[in-house]
A and B are shown apart, each in its own frame.
Chain A
Amino acid sequence: EDKVVQSPLSLVVHEGDTVTLNCSYEVTNFRSLLWYKQEKKAPTFLFMLTSSGIEKKSGRLSSILDKKELSSILNITATQTGDSAIYLCAVGGGAQKLVFGQGTRLTINP
């Protein structure tokens, strides 16, 4: 059965800190790994990583895919209170359905 595990489940840091969120997966026919940010409503797309694009960066956020270790990390530098959210990792396998991890609840204190 396809499985995605995120760690830690919860993280509290101070504004300005750097955080690293982890995601590991066991999926048949791996095609891509996606990161989403979920605040109050819809998960908002951040990055998609594939075999041909294992590293992505956007502003203070960056992500790397390690296909050998079947894992990915999401880094956020110089955190701000607006980064407080649940970060979801999802893996796309066959038929494009996404298998989601439990999420990491990130709280940034001022």
Chain B
Amino acid sequence: DSGVTQTPKHLITATGQRVTLRCSPRSGDLSVYWYQQSLDQGLQFLIQYYNGEERAKGNILERFSAQQFPDLHSELNLSSLELGDSALYFCASSGEGFQPQHFGDGTRLSIL
């Protein structure tokens, strides 16, 4: 158990819809990262938050947004969903300095 909690574990929805994925980092970790894992793209970095502020951005679509709240949990919002958004979405967290990132079990998103 990495200590990173993601909910829900599975999400099935239709094209055009909007969903919110939630992540609680390990106790004490200020940094939260979101990654997308699809069969053809591997693990791709989406966005990082540090103590409530956006720190770095990857190839995140404009339809996707994220935020980190004062209690340090984070949410990833995906809107106007397309079939190609079906993937595993992972959240990771890390401590101060350059520490290894620890991953949650992911949310499997299926778009029908």
Contacts and interface: CB of A to CB of B under 8 A. Distances in A.
Give the interface size class of chain A: 20 to 34
A43 B4 CA distance: 12
A103 B35 CA distance: 15
A98 B56 CA distance: 11
B31 A96 contact: yes
Interface string B22-34: 0000000001010
Interface residues of B, number: 23
Interface of A is mostly: strand
Contact of A98 (B2, B55, B101, B105): B101
A43 to B, nearest CB: 5
Contacts, number: 59
B29 to A, nearest CB: 12
B74 interface: no
Contacts of B56: 94-97
A45 B55 contact: no
Contacts of A34: 100-101
